[in-house]
Structure 1
Amino acid sequence: MLIKSIFGGKSEVTESGSKKCPVVLMTRIRLARNLADTPFPGWAKETRRKEVLETCLPSVASLSQMKRGISAEIESLSDLERQILVERHLISRELSGHADAAGVVISKDQSISVMINEEDHLRIQVIKSGYRFKSVWNAADAIDTALEEQLDFAFSSKLGYLTACPTNVGTGMRASTMMHLPALVISNQMEKVVRAVNQLGIAVRGLFGEGSDASGSIFQISNQTTLGESEEEIVKRLSSVLRTIIDQEMNAREKILEKDPNKLYDKIGRAYGILQNSHLLTSSECMNLASLVRFGVDLEMFPEKTRNIVDRMFIECQPGHVQYHAGQEIDSNARDAFRAEYMRKQFENVSRPIFNLHETSTEDDTPKPDSEPETD
Structure 2
Amino acid sequence: MNLNDLINQVSSWLKGTGPHSDIVISSRIRLARNLDKTPFPHWAKKNDAEQVLVTTKAAFERTAELKSAVFLRLEELDNIDKQFLVERHLMSNEHAVRSNQKALCVTPREDVAIMVNEEDHLRIQVMESGFDLDKTWDVINSIDDQLSGFLSYAFSREWGYLTACPTNTGTGMRGSVMLHLPALVMSRQINKVLEAIAKLSFTTRGLYGEGTQASGNFFQISNQVSLGLREEEILGNIKGVIGQIIEQEQKAREVLLAEHREMLEDRIWRSYGTLKNAHIISSGETVELLSMLRLGNDLGLVENMERGLINELFILTQPAHLQKLENKKLSANERDIKRAQIIRERLKV
Report the TM-score when normalising by structure 2.
0.96
Alignment-derived partner of residue 244 in structure 2: 244
1:159 corresponds in structure 2 to: 159
Q: Tell me what 1:47 maps to.
A: 47
Distance 1:304 1:216, change over 3 A: farther
Q: Which residue of 2 aligns with 1:268?
A: 268
Match runs of 1:259-338 below 5 Å: 259-303=259-303, 305-338=305-338
Secondary structure at 1:174 match in 2: strand
Structure 2 equivalent of residue 94 of structure 1? 94
Deviation at 1:11, TM superposition (A): 2.5
RMSD: 1.5
Instruction: Give, in whole Å, the separation in 2 of the partners of 1:302 and 1:159.
Output: 52
Match of 1:30 in 2: 30
Q: How far, CA to CA, are the matches of 1:234 and 1:18 in structure 2? A: 21
Whole-Å separation in 1 of the counterparts to 2:262 and 2:187 = 15
Cα distance, 1:20 vs. partner?
6.2
Deviations 1:61-120 (A, max 9, x none): 331111222111110111111111111111111111122111111111110011100000
Q: For the Cα contact (< 8 Å) 2:160–2:171, is it kept in 1?
A: yes
CA change 1:18–1:221 in 2 (3 A) is: closer
Change in Cα spacing, 1:287 to 1:61, as seen in structure 2 (3 Å) is farther
Contact 1:271 1:293 in 2 (8 A): yes
In the alignment, the residues of structure 2 paired with residue 289 and residue 42 of structure 1 have an alpha-carbon distance, to the nearest angstrom, of 41
Corresponding position of 2:83 = 83
What amino acid sits opposite 1:99 in the alignment? S
Q: Quick one: distance in 1 between partners of 2:272 and 2:292?
A: 8
In 2: Cα distance, 1:346 partner to 1:184 partner: 28
Asked whether 1:202 is paired with 2:218, we answer no
Segment drifting more, 174-183 vs 63-72: 63-72
Q: Is the 8 A contact 2:156 2:162 kept in 1?
A: yes
1:57/1:104 contact within 8 Å kept: no
* Equivalent position amino acid for 1:40 in 2: F
Q: In structure 1, what residue type is equivalent to 2:221?
A: I
Distance in structure 2 (CA, Å) of the matches to 1:8 and 1:279? 23
The aligned counterpart of 1:360 is none
Match of 2:104 in 1: 104
Kindly state the Cα deviation for residue 220 of structure 1 after the two structures are TM-superposed. 0.5
Between the aligned partners of 2:155 and 2:303, the Cα distance in structure 1 is: 51
Q: Secondary structure at the match of 2:14?
A: coil
Opposite residue 24 of structure 2, the aligned amino acid is: V
C-alpha separation between the residues in 2 aligned to 1:200 and 1:93? 27
Q: What's the offset of the Cα at 1:236? A: 0.3
Secondary structure class of the residue paired with 1:171? coil
C-alpha separation in 1, matches of 2:116 and 2:180: 30
**In the alignment, does 2:219 pair up with 1:219?**
yes
Displacement, 1:18? 7.5
C-alpha contact (below 8 Å) 2:14/2:25 kept by paired residues: no
User: Is the Cα contact below 8 Å between 2:265 and 2:301 reproduced in 1?
Assistant: no
The DSSP-based 3-state class of the residue aligned with 2:233 is helix
Q: What are the equivalent positions in structure 2 for 1:328-367 lying under 5 Å apart? A: 328-349=328-349
Question: 1:306: Cα distance to partner?
Answer: 2.7
Letter in 2 for 1:82: K
In structure 2, what is the equivalent of residue 58 of structure 1? 58
8 Å contact kept, 1:205–1:211: yes
Cα displacement string for residues 26-56 of structure 1 (whole angstroms, at most 9, x for unaligned residues): 0000000001111110111122111111111
Aligned to 1:119: 119
Letter in 1 for 2:235: V
Distance in structure 2 (CA, Å) of the matches to 1:27 and 1:112: 12
Q: Secondary structure at the match of 1:216?
A: coil
Give the 3-state SS of the residue equivalent to 2:13 in structure 1: coil
Q: Counterpart of 1:40 in 2: which secondary structure?
A: coil
1:136-151 superposed matches below 5 A: 136-151=136-151
SS at match of 1:31: strand
What SS does the aligned partner of 2:26 have?
strand
Q: Secondary structure at the match of 1:13?
A: helix
Question: 1:184 is aligned with what amino acid?
Answer: L
Contact map agreement 1:57 1:103 (CA 8 A) in 2: no
CA deviations 1:327-354 (Å, max 9, x no partner) are 31101111011101111111122xxxxx
Work out whether residues 30 and 124 of structure 1, in 8 Å CA contact, stay in contact via their aligned partners in 2.
yes
- The whole-number CA distance in structure 2 between the counterparts of 1:308 and 1:13 is 9
**Identity rate, percent:** 41
Matched residue SS, 1:215: coil
Give CA deviations for 1:290-339 in whole Å, capped at 9, x if unaligned. Answer: 11111011111123643121011111111111111223110111101110
Normalising by structure 1, what TM-score? 0.90
Q: How far apart in 2 are the matches of 1:311 and 1:32?
A: 28
Q: Which runs of 4 or more aligned residues in structure 1 lie more than 6 Å from their structure 2 counterparts after TM superposition?
A: none
Higher deviation after alignment, 197-206 or 257-266: 257-266
Contact 2:31 2:123 in 1 (8 A): yes
Counterparts of 1:330 and 1:187 in 2: how far apart (Å)?
A: 38
SS of the residue 1:104 aligns to:
strand
Q: How many angstroms does 1:14 deviate by?
A: 3.5
1:133 counterpart letter in structure 2:
L
